[in-house]
């Protein structure tokens, strides 16, 4: 355990409490453009790095949150393992702490689990200056509220992530990506039909014209599934899923219009919005770029049974996340009061009043 750096961070938080000075928790800065505009004096976490405990046979790793994703994934790959939720980096030197704090998951999310599903435990420094530990390093370790997963997607508003314990998985024996020309509506229908069948699908994506389906597992199982699904084999599948989709290098993600992320039921019809859409997660995640106004986008998402987040660009001082109902906002407010009574940790990063 990196006692010296933990004590230094604890001292910084205690000083901030005494001075009433807000803090902006910062790793590499790769996720700084997500959420509302950060404020406060920077509190650097990048130096709080290193793997604390790794048990390949137990499929568990505990790592300090300033550790880069590149370092962590390389260490896992040496043992033939990976992070199942495929966290996007979205910038150089991205840290595991940033990925967990923002709750980011990549193409495998519907099939292997979201970031929060793979978090077994965390060690945090809260807004009271206390170091707390929740969860542990085994799957069944929680009696009562699972507060470790509560930190996933909290954007640092409840505490500084010091360490996180994660479930890891073996690398698949083989992978193949199939490509078909399909309309968005037909792609949604097919993805939902395949979801109810015993097929080794680990990622899906429709870019507006083509449907991509990634299969993983034993070669025989992949070959059989490919006969059922059909389509051409994509040559450079690793580049497609990592660089173009996971890291948003696809042409869809370039340009001036703001980027919206819509979370919807996978069976929701193709959205009637002007502009371009890209579908992931079997239809449950829809990316949108166009000139539609914020109220229109949110109304369309709500009518479809989901919600919309201004993921990148646009007005970062406004309501980036879908506004909460009063009961839900009351829960968020109570949690903030419990973990960060002075309101000093990443204030306003999620919602203006938090």
In a domain, 72, yes or no: yes
Q: At which of 246, 280, 307 does a domain end?
A: 246
Q: Please name the residue that has the structure tokens 């568990």.
A: 60
In a domain, 344, yes or no: no
Calpha distance 172→82 (Å, rounded): 9
In a domain, 295, yes or no: yes
Asked if residue 261 and residue 242 are part of one domain, the reply reads no
In a domain, 220, yes or no: yes
pLDDT of residue 224: 97
Asked if residue 156 and residue 179 are part of one domain, the reply reads no
Calpha distance 29→311 (Å, rounded): 16
Asked if residue 151 and residue 182 are part of one domain, the reply reads no
pLDDT of residue 323: 93
pLDDT of residue 139: 53
In a domain, 184, yes or no: yes
CB 326 within 8 A of CB 19: no
Counts for the chain of helices (H) and strands (E), in that order: 11, 17
Asked if residue 318 and residue 260 are part of one domain, the reply reads yes
Tens-place pLDDT, residues 266-286: 999 999 999 999 999 999 999
Asked if residue 153 and residue 9 are part of one domain, the reply reads yes
DSSP 32: T
CA dihedral 338, 118, 249, 283 (to 10 degrees): -100
Q: Would residue 235 be called left, alpha or beta, if left means φ above 0 and alpha means ψ between -120 and 50 degrees? A: alpha
Q: What is the pTM of this model?
A: 0.94
Asked if residue 208 and residue 127 are part of one domain, the reply reads no
Asked if residue 15 and residue 128 are part of one domain, the reply reads yes
- H or E element that contains 174: strand 174-181
Calpha distance 187→195 (Å, rounded): 12
Residue 288: domain span: 255-322
Q: At which of 246, 263, 295 does a domain end?
A: 246
Tens-place pLDDT, residues 176-227: 999 999 999 999 999 999 999 999 999 999 999 999 999 999 999 999 999 9
Asked if residue 191 and residue 46 are part of one domain, the reply reads no
In a domain, 260, yes or no: yes
Q: Each residue's pLDDT tens digit in the chain (354 positions)? A: 456 688 999 999 999 999 999 999 999 999 999 999 999 999 998 789 999 999 999 999 999 999 999 999 999 999 999 999 999 999 999 999 999 999 999 999 999 999 999 999 999 999 999 999 998 765 555 555 678 889 999 999 999 999 999 999 999 999 999 999 999 999 999 999 999 999 999 999 999 999 999 999 999 999 999 999 999 999 999 999 999 999 999 999 998 899 999 999 999 999 999 999 999 999 999 999 999 999 999 999 999 999 999 999 999 999 999 999 999 999 999 999 999 999 999 999 999 988
Residue 79 belongs to a domain with what CATH number?
A: 3.30.465.10
Asked if residue 159 and residue 57 are part of one domain, the reply reads yes
Q: Would residue 333 be called left, alpha or beta, if left means φ above 0 and alpha means ψ between -120 and 50 degrees? A: alpha
Q: At which of 246, 269, 293 does a domain end?
A: 246
In a domain, 349, yes or no: no
pLDDT of residue 91: 92
- H or E element that contains 306: none
The half-sphere exposure of 66 on its side-chain side, counting CA atoms within 13 A, is 17
Q: How many CB atoms lie within 10 A of CB 81?
A: 18
CA dihedral 8, 14, 15, 16 (to 10 degrees): 110
pLDDT of residue 243: 97
Residue 211 belongs to a domain with what CATH number?
A: 3.30.70
In a domain, 228, yes or no: yes
Could you tell me the two tokens for 170?
A: 């073996």
pLDDT of residue 120: 95
Asked if residue 141 and residue 283 are part of one domain, the reply reads no
Asked if residue 106 and residue 26 are part of one domain, the reply reads yes
Could you tell me the two tokens for 273?
A: 């919005």
Asked if residue 153 and residue 18 are part of one domain, the reply reads yes
pLDDT of residue 256: 85
DSSP 245: I
pLDDT of residue 5: 83
Number of domains in the chain: 3
């Amino acid at each position: 355990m990196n006692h010296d750096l933990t004590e230094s961070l604890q001292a910084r938080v205690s000083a901030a409490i005494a001075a009433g000075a807000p803090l902006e928790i910062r790793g590499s800065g790769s996720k700084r453009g997500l959420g509302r505009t950060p404020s406060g004096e920077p509190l650097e976490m990048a130096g709080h790095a290193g793997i604390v405990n790794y048990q390949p046979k137990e499929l568990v790793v505990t790592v300090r949150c300033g550790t880069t994703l590149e370092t962590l994934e390389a260490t896992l790959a040496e043992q033939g393992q990976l992070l199942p939720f495929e966290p996007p980096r979205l910038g150089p030197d991205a840290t595991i702490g940033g990925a967990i704090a923002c709750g980011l998951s990549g193409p495998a999310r519907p099939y292997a689990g979201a970031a929060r599903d793979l978090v077994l435990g965390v060690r945090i420094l809260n807004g009271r200056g206390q170091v707390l530990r929740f969860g542990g390093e085994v799957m069944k370790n929680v009696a009562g509220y699972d507060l470790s997963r509560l930190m996933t997607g909290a954007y640092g508003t409840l505490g500084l992530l010091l360490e996180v314990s994660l479930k890891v998985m073996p690398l698949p024996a083989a992978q193949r990506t199939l490509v078909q020309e399909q309309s968005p509506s037909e792609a949604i229908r097919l993805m939902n039909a395949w979801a109810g069948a015993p097929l080794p699908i680990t990622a899906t994506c429709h870019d507006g014209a083509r449907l991509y389906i990634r299969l993983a597992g034993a070669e025989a199982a992949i070959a059989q599934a490919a006969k059922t699904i059909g389509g051409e084999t994509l040559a450079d599948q690793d580049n497609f899923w990592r660089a173009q989709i996971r890291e948003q290098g696809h042409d869809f993600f370039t340009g001036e219009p703001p980027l919206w992320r819509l979370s919807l039921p996978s069976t929701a019809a193709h959205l009637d919005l002007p502009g371009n859409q890209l579908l992931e997660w079997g239809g449950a995640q829809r990316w949108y770029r166009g000139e539609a106004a914020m109220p229109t986008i949110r109304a369309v998402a709500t009518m479809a049974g989901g919600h919309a987040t201004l993921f990148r660009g646009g007005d970062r001082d406004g309501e980036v996340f879908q506004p909460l109902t009063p009961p839900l906002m009351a829960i968020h407010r109570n949690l903030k009061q419990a973990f960060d009574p002075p309101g000093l940790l990443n204030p306003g990063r999620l919602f203006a009043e938090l």
